Each structure stands twice: as structure tokens, then as C-alpha cells.
Amino acid sequence: MTTITVSHLTKRFGPTLAVDDLSFDVRPGVVTGFLGPNGSGKSTTMRMLLGLVRPTAGRALIGDVPYADLPDPSGTVGALLEADAFHPARSGRAHLEILAAAAGRPRQRVDAVLDTVGLVAAADRPAGGYSLGMRQRLGIAGALLADPDVLILDEPANGLDPQGVRDLRTLLRDRAHGGASVLVSSHQLAEMALIADEVVVIRDGALVTHDRVGALTTEHARALSVRSPELVRLEAVLRQAGGRVHPDAGSDRMVVEDLDAPTVARLALDARIEVHELTERTHSLEDAFLELTAS
Amino acid sequence: MRDQLRAELLKLRSVRTTWLFLAVTAAVVALAVIAQAMTASGGDLPPVSDPETQLMLFQSASGLAPVIAVLLGTLGLATEVRHHTLASTFLANPRRERVLAAKAVATFALGAVLGLVAAATAVIGSWLVLLVTSTGLVADTDRILAAVAGTTFAAALAALLGLGIGGIVRNQAAAIGAALIVMLAVEPLLGAFVPDMAAWLPSAVASRIAGASPDADPGLVASASLYGGYALVAMAGAVAVVRRVDV
């Protein structure tokens, strides 16, 4: 059981502040999504976690130590940073055999992970000819090679077909349920909503929020859809109670903001107004994300 | 460290570039032997029956092998930068100086193989020339053997020097360009303007080790130490740069 801890992490590239006093942690058993617009510092944060980029300030720890001090780094953390990180003339199998040798793992592990990601048929072809989806699979295979407790994956769903995304989701869930800590970045928010249990949202390198996916989508679901035959009277009552009301012209429906469903129901009951429908318009993670990261 | 060395040797074996370099080396040396033999038969050199001319034929690889080995060495790190594989290399082994040590051993060995291929090509080519021209061997065989051993050792050190240059420059094309400019322009110019220095420059001491000029100053041990020193300085520069760089 290994927790990832990011604490007051800061990275400056010359005048650019790429990561700004960022703190969060990734617990075992949980798939944590890492969201942010392009250039918001997700990859830099992941690279600092992996000891590839030197932080300007703050700490990034795997368990209790920096990545470089882990006794068995490959066996502790599996990482995917770029889909294109291989020599194009090497076969997928040769690429993985090199990683296995460097990690001190037997060659049989290569066959096992090729099978896990469904790349056995293409394993002996030069990786330069792989499709983006196959490259991602090769990268994921590399991350799984030493059967690590922690997975750090940068945009692993990018380029995968729907089946590939489903397989990835199952894989990450299984890993998390087995006790692994999983940090996975994405800008494919719909998929993230299905893959992740929690999300860390950053903007301009700084933390915006860290919450459960469910909490994030309901917290930002303030709008209600209301249908009533006495729309005009209900509108007046709700406005008086502080609600913002947007009638849908030509229909018996309106959208209500800043009041929750129980309040609207009670106000209607007190005023003896019939209500035919009262629905929370659940925002998607995408809506919540766009709202949170709007600058 | 042993795992990393295994990985580095696998990297070298699994790409065509390595084999292509060895094949090109053999081809270039073979051409050099033919060119020398033709120069001798054209009268611009003493005939092939002359011991010094024969020795020159057998030493055809001495100047070439270190130059090609430097270029091959630059690829050790620069190729990883180009194909973004340095990150996964450092993930498996976050102690970057150990990665560089493993690369140094693998590159030294590869350079030695390249030097041996070059020297063997020169020996076989020269022997064929003697056979075709029905000339007996009159060259000093000790000096031929010294050239084979020297070329192998010089190419091994040259590859290490190239690895260091590649680590400092990191961009593949720039590393090869920098190595070529130093060997083909900077060193000859420096040698021309400061003749006292000429014999002490990297390419000159490399040729000296490879057996090209036995009686010249600096001596063989001094040359080997000096060339080893050049390679070590380049490697130390590479370690300093690579340890700090964000990947």
C-alpha cells in the first residue's frame, strides 16, 4: 500500500510558473483522475513525482520517499508518460525486453504484459508502424511490466478505441481494488467520469479542487427543471424566495437556479401550486470542469 | 548496474544502426586499402613489395576507425533523447550516473568491436592485395599486430569520447555535427596554426594509438593516457549535464 504525496510542489521554467504550490495525495484503492486544461502543469507534476524533473520547491513522494530513493523503483511505480517513447525501428517486444532487463525482471513478464494489453499479434513488428492506440497499449504494457503498486499514467486513454477505453477502465479499477494507488491524467472528461473515483483539478499549475467525482458533479448541479400549469404564479413565488428563474418561452417549463429541489417543492406546496415535474439537471463532469477551470 | 548494462547491450543489438555502422566501417576501410594499393601501383608510393608500403596498407583502418567510432558513440545518449526513451531509462534506474556508467561500458565494448572489424578488414584486404599482386609479406608482423590491437583500443576510447559529446550536446544531429567539425576542421586548423600542439590533439593521439606513427612523440603510453583523458573529460561533462537536466 503506497500513497502518493504531493506537497507544496512548485516548478519554474525561467519566467514561467508551471506548477504553483500544489498539494494533494493519491490514496491506495482509489483511481484518482488528474484534470486540467492543456499546459496546466499535469505532465510536469507527474514528471516531478517520477524524479525526471527537479522541483523548484516542495516535495513529491512515493510512500515516504522521493522516487529516486525507492529501493525498487520499477517494482513500485509503473509510469506512462508519452505514447511515442520508443525507438521506431525496434519491435514492441524488443522495447519491452529492454525495459524488463533494466528493471531486473524476467523476459516472461514481457509475454504476460503483451497479453494483458492485447498486443501479442503485433509484438514483433517495428513499433514505428503502430497506430496511436497500439502505441498507448505498448506504453501501458511497459507501465505494468514490474507489477507495481502505483500507476502514474499521462493521458493513457488518448487514441484508444472504445474497447480499449473499456479495457483500460477495467484494468485501472482492478488495480485499485487490489490496493494500488492510481493517478491518471486526461482531458477526455467523459471517460474520466467513468474511470476515476476522485479527481484533482488544476489550473495554471495550482489546485482548483480535489473531490469525489460524484460530489463534483452534484455540487455544480444547481439548476432545476420545473414544469407547472401555473408557471407565472410559481415564477413570482420563486423569485421572491431568491431564486433566479428562466422561463422557457412557449412551454410550461422553466429553469430555476440558486434554490434546491426541496425548497422549490415546499414553496409550491405552501402556495398551493401544482407541480408536474421537478428535476435536478445533473451537470456532467465536463460542465463542472469547464466551470472550475474557466479563467 | 548489471541489469542496466544488459539493457544497454540489448539496445545496441536491437537496432539496425549498430550493424549498419559496422558494415559501413568495413566498406570504408576496404575502399581505403584499394585506394592505397592503387596509389602504390601508380608510382606515387614505393611499390607494394616495399615493407613500409605494406605496413601502410595493413594500417589502413588506423585513422578511420576512431573517427567512425566517435560518431557511433555520440548516438548512445542522443538517440535516447531523440526518441524520448531517456525517461523510461531513468525510471528503471533513477541513479543517472549509474546509467551513464553502464552506457560507458557498453559503448566502450561496441567501439572495440568496431575497431576490431576495421582492423580485420584492413588485414584481410591487404592480404588479398598481396595475393593478387603475387607479392610476399615483408612488413614487420609485430607492427601489424600492434596496429590491430591499437586500432581496437583507440576505437573503444573514441566511442567513449563520442558518448560524452552526445551527452553534453544531447541533440543527435548537433552532436554528430559538433564531432565532425572538431575532427575535420578545428583540429586541422589548430594543428596548422600551432604546430607544437598538433601531435597532442585527440585525432592525432588516436592515430598514434592505432599504430599509424610508431616513432613519433608522444609515446604510445602517453598517447593512450591522453586520449583516455579526453574521453574521461567528455564523460565527466556528460555526467554533470545529464544529472541535472529535466527529462
The answer to whether B6 contacts chain A (CB < 8 Å) is yes
pLDDT at B170 over 80: yes
**CB spacing of B94 vs A51 below 8 angstroms:** yes
**A51 contacts on B by Cβ (under 8 Å):** 90, 94
Mean pLDDT of chain B: 92
Compare all CA atoms of chain B with the CA of A100 and give the residue at the minimum distance.
B7
The answer to whether B244 contacts chain A (CB < 8 Å) is yes
Please give the Cα distance from A227 to A63 (Å, whole number).
53
**CB spacing of B83 vs A87 below 8 angstroms:** yes
**CB spacing of B3 vs A68 below 8 angstroms:** no
**A65 contacts on B by Cβ (under 8 Å):** none
**B7 contacts on A by Cβ (under 8 Å):** 98-99, 101-102
**A101 contacts on B by Cβ (under 8 Å):** 3, 6-7, 10
In B74-93, the residues whose Cβ lies within 8 Å of chain A are 79, 83-85, 87-93
The mean pLDDT of B13-25, rounded to a whole number, is: 93
Give B247→chain A minimum CA distance, Å: 5
B212 band by pLDDT with thresholds 50, 70 and 90: low
Q: What pLDDT score was predicted for residue A275?
A: 93
Exposed/middle/buried for A173, CB within 10 Å: 0-12, 13-18, 19+? middle
Cβ atoms of residues A196 and A46 within 8 Å: no
- What grid cell was written down for B85? 526513451
**CB spacing of A87 vs B90 below 8 angstroms:** no
In B157-186, the residues whose Cβ lies within 8 Å of chain A are none
Q: What pLDDT score was predicted for residue A27?
A: 95
**CB spacing of A102 vs B3 below 8 angstroms:** yes
**CB spacing of A68 vs B94 below 8 angstroms:** yes
* B41-85 pLDDT per residue, tens: 777 778 888 888 999 999 999 989 999 999 999 999 999 999 999
Give B116→chain A minimum CA distance, Å: 26
Give B86→chain A minimum CA distance, Å: 8
Q: What pLDDT score was predicted for residue A155?
A: 92
Q: What pLDDT score was predicted for residue A219?
A: 65
Exposed/middle/buried for A133, CB within 10 Å: 0-12, 13-18, 19+? middle
Residues on A contacting B at a C-beta cutoff of 8 Å = 47, 50-54, 67-68, 70, 73-74, 77, 79, 81-82, 84-91, 94, 97-99, 101-104, 142
**B10 contacts on A by Cβ (under 8 Å):** 94, 97-98, 101
**CB spacing of B244 vs A103 below 8 angstroms:** no
**CB spacing of A104 vs B90 below 8 angstroms:** no
For residue A91, CA distances in Å to A79, A97, A103, A143, B14 come to 20, 10, 19, 17, 8
A74, A85, A94: residue with CB nearest B92: A74
Q: What pLDDT score was predicted for residue A45?
A: 97
In chain B, domain spans: 2-244
Distance from chain centroid for Cα B7: 23
- What grid cell was written down for B131? 595475393
Give A146→chain B minimum CA distance, Å: 10
Cβ atoms of residues A145 and A103 within 8 Å: yes
Give A52→chain B minimum CA distance, Å: 5
Q: Are strands A77-80 and A16-26 parallel, antiparallel or unpaired?
A: unpaired
Classified as helix, coil or strand, A33 is strand
* B91-121 pLDDT per residue, tens: 999 999 999 999 999 999 999 999 999 999 9
**Phi and psi, residue A204, nearest 5°:** 50, 40
Mean pLDDT by 10 residues, chain A (295 residues): 94 94 96 91 96 96 95 94 91 96 94 95 95 94 95 91 88 94 86 87 93 77 84 91 84 86 92 91 74 75
**B85 contacts on A by Cβ (under 8 Å):** 85-87
Distance from chain centroid for Cα B68: 5
